[in-house]
Amino acid sequence: MLSERTTESIVGLFLIAAIVALIILAFKVSGLTSFFKPEGYEVTATFDEIGQLKVRAPIKMGGVTIGEVTGIHLDPTSFRAVVTMRLDKKVNDIPSDSSASILTAGLLGDNYIAITPMYNTDFLKQGSDIQETHPAIILEKLIGQFMFKISNPGTNNETTKEGVKK
């Protein structure tokens, strides 16, 4: 039979191992660690409007998550948002002429980037730039435009063939 001291030591080691496992799990779930950085390659895309897109937002293709947003900054010359994305290394055959759109999960959900593959035989690689982008649709702007239209029914912004407003 084990002595009392040996039993206490085994229980103590088990407790320490459990605490370390919980700490690693907490860091892994929260994304606050770079210990478990997934392998892949980074590409960028420039958008006119990113809405509420955040770092760590998912990148999806066909509804399947293939990466995440790793950085967002403003280009000082064009004043457009530059989004850096890390794509999984398993998905290395995305055509270079693919487009990126910022979509919303549900009516009021979080934003994510959807990549739509095209037909080029060259593929995205580390440092590539996605040229064709579609900005986020801002629900507040749409509601504001709708409210303006219904409050001003007499205004008609259509133009004739000659370019004169009706």
Closest CA to 128 of 161, 163, 86, 162: 86
Amino acid code (one letter) for 10:
I
C-alpha to C-alpha distances, 30 to 66, 82, 89, nearest whole angstrom: 19, 24, 22
The residue whose two tokens read 């929260």 is 30
Amino acid code (one letter) for 12:
G
Overall pTM > 0.75: no
How many whole angstroms from its chain centre is CA 8?
48
CB 130 within 8 Å of CB 44 = yes
For 67-124, how does the pLDDT look when each residue is reduced to its tens digit (9 = 90+)? Answer: 999 999 999 999 999 999 999 999 989 999 999 999 988 777 789 999 999 988 899 9
